[in-house]
A and B are shown apart, each in its own frame.
Chain A
């Protein structure tokens, strides 16, 4: 029998409300507003109150997929990463680093954004890095 709450930051908008994920036996079962958080002071909007619902929605991606002809087929992490490495190397060799680019994500963490731009700037050699801040 486990019930614990994990203090985190809402993933929906830039306000940055504090919320508690209610975890029961390894599963997120609900959300409570963090009462002592300086931004939302124990209040949430409808999206925040339901921020846990999408986690267990059908259709979560659970395995890497690699395109074989017209279909995306399940693959191992090694195969997926190798495909990316080979294809990126080939494109870079033929067309130069500026023929590659990335859309990073305003939904991902600071650390993840840092890593992706570092991959493109340092490992691939292009500044074609953007995200949908404007959208």
Chain B
């Protein structure tokens, strides 16, 4: 996030897209509700009419995967009406002329045709967002989990820069991080192309710095992403895999394909707290600790460093994961794994990572620190881009609309989109053993528009079979107007009816994120005996 969570409360306009905020980030939704009480206008653009949509001043459903088109459409209206922030564009950005050219063809009529958003609504959204004093954009996986995910995000950045709605409190472009430490694990370089702190592995000077810090020569070649590693197993190139606290068999797209790869791999190590679907396939399983059984830090969605604290011991022979990893590091012959506590590990992190350089365990006990925090007397950065962008001027990227990879056709006439419920988390490893949460809901379902339900010939609670080009699952039908005609929604928490048996592994070319939010499916009624 460019801005911090409490700032939402003081925004004048909050544009939410692709985020089921009350479900996935309830305490951010809480701030948004507070903002509304204080007079902010809430706009929701989402294919599903979720809870937050019902609380919005303007809600509109766009067609799946049409985000670049409506955002370009907004920018065209803003330019036509003179609502852009000319001084911000002049002083802080570059590439404006190219952007102007790129959005010119996105007339309200054309946008309505692609996105299904009425042109009057688009104009109203443009006006409120551009002319409010402080407008904030909130987005989540509904924007990023597309083959055009990077395009979508860049389009939102274009919109914020065009209107100067960035670099001030309560503005900005704010992706909500789904898992507790997505921000931190990315900061700490659990990604293939950088060292901790977003320092490229391909940069010779940086690599030398890390070679010195770690005392070994390092590879200059960027590595593979999750989906690419799965493919590499199939091609016989990847032979051994270490999985820490993840369940790719349920969380990854096209699970049948993942399952084949994990069956085929020579050697699989899984470190987890439960016997997950993935752990069952392992050659070695290492028992780790839950968040209540270890110390360490998480970095929140707004770049805020916070501690977790050990309350009780891990069960039996299980160990804190940092301890396990130090042992693994030493066992495989690594140097520099003699840490006696997470705090010692953090000291090394702060040393090699300029954006965490000024952060210590002592400081986060007493202060709220958002990175970048480059020295002990740097208070940190609740919001970014105050006086300039990291790379000097903010660059407008001209972007054209591309349709989703898999469109509905005769054989697979419906579009499937996936997401979370308020009562469960990710693949359900933790929430589906929590009685208070399973009491609420504990089985997969599929939301279907009444017209489509009539076509298929199903009633509420009847079981249907969903089939895509990759697999099929059965699930109970819930008939609702919350989804558009032609679109069906399924939560992805339930391994026995895993939505990801259906989803497509089409990747965004840059972020390598899979297109979870759109694929084509067929739905058939099945007889009771079959169900």
Q: Which residues of the partner chain B approach A39 to less than 8 Å between Cβ atoms?
A: 5-6, 27, 300, 304
B509 CB–A CB distance under 8 Å? no
Verify if B134 is at the interface (C-beta below 8 Å from A).
no
CB within 8 Å of B: which A101-130 residues? 101-130
Q: Which of B156-164, B224-232, B456-464, B520-528 contacts A (4 or more CB under 8 A)?
A: B224-232
Q: Is the CB of B308 within 8 A of A62?
A: no
Query: Is residue B422 within 8 Å, beta carbon to beta carbon, of the partner chain?
Result: yes
- A residues 17-67 with Cβ under 8 Å of B? 17-18, 21, 23, 26-28, 38-40, 43-55, 57-67
A101-B238, A104-B244, A122-B334 as given contacts; A8 in contact with B307, CB under 8 Å: yes
Q: In the assembled complex, which residues on chain B have CB atoms less than 8 Å from the CB atom of A115?
A: 322, 325-326, 329, 337, 339, 345
Q: A8-B308, A109-B321 are in contact. Are A131 and B191 (CB under 8 A)?
A: yes
Comparing B46-54, B181-189, B476-484, the segment that makes contact with chain A is B181-189
The residue in chain A whose Cβ has the minimal distance to the Cβ of B218 is: A121
Tell whether, in the assembled complex, residue B306 and residue A16 are in contact, meaning their CB atoms are under 8 Å apart.
Answer: yes
B431's partner among A14, A21, A47 (CB-CB below 8 A) is A47
Q: For chain A, which range describes its interface: under 10, 10 to 19, 20 to 34, or 35 or more residues?
A: 35 or more
CA distance A14 to B319 in the complex (A): 24
Give CA–CA (A6, B310) in the complex, Å: 8
B251 pairs with A135, CB closer than 8 A: yes
Complex Cα distance, B430 from A48, in Å, reads 12
Given known pairs A62-B287, A122-B334, the reply for A45 and B298 (CB within 8 Å) is no
Bound CA span A21–B312, Å: 10
Select one of B217, B226, B309, B437 contacting A131, CB under 8 A: B226
A103 x B246 contact (CB < 8 A) = yes
Contact B337 A128 (CB under 8 A): no
Select one of B245, B336, B423 contacting A108, CB under 8 A.
Answer: B245
The answer on a CB contact under 8 Å between A118 and B315 is no
Does B222 reach chain A (CB closer than 8 Å)?
yes
Chain B residues contacting A64 (CB-CB under 8 Å) are 284-287, 317
Identify which of B144, B177, B190 gathers the most chain A CB atoms within 10 Å of its CB: B190
A87→B5 contact, CB < 8 A = no
Cross-chain contact of A60 among B218, B273, B296 (Cβ < 8 A) = B273
Given A9-B306, A13-B178, A66-B283, do A46 and B437 touch, yes or no (CB 8 Å)?
yes
Q: Does B122 contact A (CB under 8 A)?
A: no
Partner of B422, one of A6, A45, A82, A112: A45
Give, as a whole number of angstroms, the nearest-CB distance from B439 to chain A. 10
- Cβ-closest chain B residue relative to A104: B190
Tell whether A3 is near chain B: CB-to-CB under 8 Å: no
User: In the bound complex, what is the Cα–Cα distance between A6 and B307 (angstroms)?
Assistant: 11
Given the contacts A53-B437, A64-B284, A130 and B301 also touching, CB distance less than 8 Å: no
Asked whether A134 and B316 contact (CB < 8 A) given A8-B308, A47-B437, A64-B284, the answer is no
CA separation between A85 and B293, bound complex, in Å? 26
Are B292 and A52 in contact (CB-based, < 8 A)? yes
Contacting chain A: which of B56-64, B446-454, B511-519?
Answer: B511-519
Complex alpha-carbon distance, A23 and B312, angstroms: 8
Q: How far is the CA of A60 from the CA of B267 in the complex (A)?
A: 23
The verdict on B25 contacting chain A, using a C-beta distance below 8 Å, is yes
- Beta-carbon contact of B328 and A84 below 8 Å: yes
**List of A residues within 8 angstroms of B189 by Cβ:** 113-114, 117, 129
Name the distance in Å between B443's Cβ and chain A's nearest Cβ. Answer: 18
With A14-B180, A112-B296, A115-B337 in contact, do A130 and B342 touch (Cβ < 8 Å)?
Answer: no
Complex contact A123–B334 (CB within 8 A): yes
> What is the bound-complex CA distance between A104 and B186, given in angstroms?
10
Which of A80, A110, A131 contacts B246 (CB under 8 A)?
Answer: A131
Chain B residues 400-457 with CB under 8 Å of chain A are: 422-423, 425, 430-431, 433-437, 440
Q: Which chain A residue shows the least CB distance to B298?
A: A9
A-B contact pairs, 13 of them (CB 8 A): A8-B309, A8-B311, A10-B180, A27-B312, A65-B284, A77-B317, A100-B239, A104-B190, A106-B181, A110-B346, A113-B185, A122-B335, A134-B225
Chain B interface residues toward A at CB < 8 A: 5-6, 24-28, 30, 144-145, 176-193, 195-196, 201, 210, 214-219, 221-226, 229, 232, 237-246, 248, 251-253, 266-267, 269, 272-275, 279-280, 282-288, 290-294, 296-302, 304-313, 315-319, 321-322, 325-329, 331-337, 339, 342, 345-346, 348-349, 368, 422-423, 425, 430-431, 433-437, 440, 511-514, 516
Beyond the given A83-B283, A104-B190, please list 18 additional residue pairs across the A-B interface where CB-CB is below 8 A: A9-B306, A47-B431, A53-B437, A60-B274, A61-B273, A65-B284, A91-B266, A99-B238, A100-B242, A102-B243, A103-B229, A103-B242, A106-B185, A113-B190, A128-B224, A131-B191, A133-B186, A133-B190
